[in-house]
Amino acid sequence: MTWQPFYVGDGTPRDVDLGEPPPWRTFPRQAVHRQFQPPSGLVGAVNAALALRRPLLITGPAGSGKSTVIEQVAAELKLGEVLRWHITSRSTLTDALYRYDALGRIHAQRLDGPGGSDDITPFLQLGPLGTALLPGPRPRALLIDEIDKGDLDLPSDLLDVLERGEFEIPELARYRETEVLVREWGSAERSWVERGRVQCGAFPFIVMTSNGERDFPPAFLRRCIRYVMPLPTAETLLRIVDAHLGAEGDAGSSSQVYALVAEFVARVAEGQTLAIDQLLNAVHLLTGGSAPGGEETQEVMNLVLRELSRA
């Protein structure tokens, strides 16, 4: 427990030791594949997606651990670093496949003048989905996060690529060189692309997450293995607290932890929107010998366990 009155509010400068952050707020961010506790049925859904070479669509509220699933799978199966495509309202399939900086190339040609290099490759980079589809002996792991935040046509745009496992880069299809090296997403690595076409050898393990805010077309759904995150049980949450906090969770009174977990479960069962990391925050702050007491306990609880669907 690291609760301390760091800030007093009297405007007096002072040297303050802020202590260690919670394990899930250390930087650079550490993978949490060892701490993730898969709920009932998720292991079977993952294995079905792996066996059928189909994307896994996981639906559930924010903070339920949807995006952590792929970290554990990638670590256990040695699929390498997870590629991530975070969806926004402006996300397009082309951006996920590759990026071409046409303006940058025009600017470079103007600087080089007549007779300068017209090499296109410095201005090309594969996107997260394009990198995942590169040929290789082992599948890559790709997270398509919050796909329901994208344009209405995005799931339908994905259909052909997910079915065929290939795509074309038009700028390279008509380029003078038949084979070029193109930068991969999120690294300095480069891979050969022949005649502008990328064709996967092993279909990537793809996890798509959704907050359940919209429906998807049947043609898209039939190409996915679907899993809905269940409501968390007290037993599951206690395992999660132990996995993340370990000795720190044990240091506080077990009755304090049980009380926080019981309140969390009851509020979620009533339909309130709460994230599991909010429970971890509450346990981190409100258990142990130096935890706040009295009215301050309730004030802190109201801060860290505030319902997400309200401002």
Residue 2: the pLDDT is 56
Q: How confident is the model at residue 251 (pLDDT cuts 50, 70, 90)?
A: very low
Residue 252: the pLDDT is 44
**For residue 151, is pLDDT > 70?**
yes
Q: How confident is the model at residue 289 (pLDDT cuts 50, 70, 90)?
A: low
Mean pLDDT of 280-288: 86
Percent of the chain's residues with pLDDT above 70:
93
Residue, of 56 and 137, whose pLDDT is higher: 56
Distance CA 143, CA 65 (A): 13
Residue 253: the pLDDT is 53
Predicted confidence (pLDDT) per residue in 21-69, tens digit:
888 888 887 777 778 889 999 999 999 999 999 999 999 988 888 999 9
Residue, of 236 and 225, whose pLDDT is higher: 225
What is the overall mean pLDDT for the chain? Answer: 89
Specify the DSSP class assigned to residue 24: G
Residue 295: the pLDDT is 81
The answer to whether the beta carbons of residues 198 and 130 sit under 8 Å apart is yes
**For residue 255, is pLDDT > 80?**
yes
**For residue 130, is pLDDT > 90?**
yes
The token pair that represents 26 in the structure block: 């250390």
- End-to-end CA distance of the chain: give it in Å, rounded: 28
Helix (H) or strand (E) holding 74: helix 69-77
Mean pLDDT of 64-75: 93
Beta strands in the chain (DSSP E): 56-59, 83-86, 98-100, 124-126, 141-145, 166-168, 179-183, 190-194, 197-199, 205-210, 225-228
Residue 116: the pLDDT is 53
Predicted confidence (pLDDT) per residue in 10-24, tens digit:
999 989 888 888 888
Mean pLDDT of 197-206: 96
Asked whether the CA dihedral 132, 58, 32, 88 is positive or negative, the reply is positive
**For residue 309, is pLDDT > 90?**
no
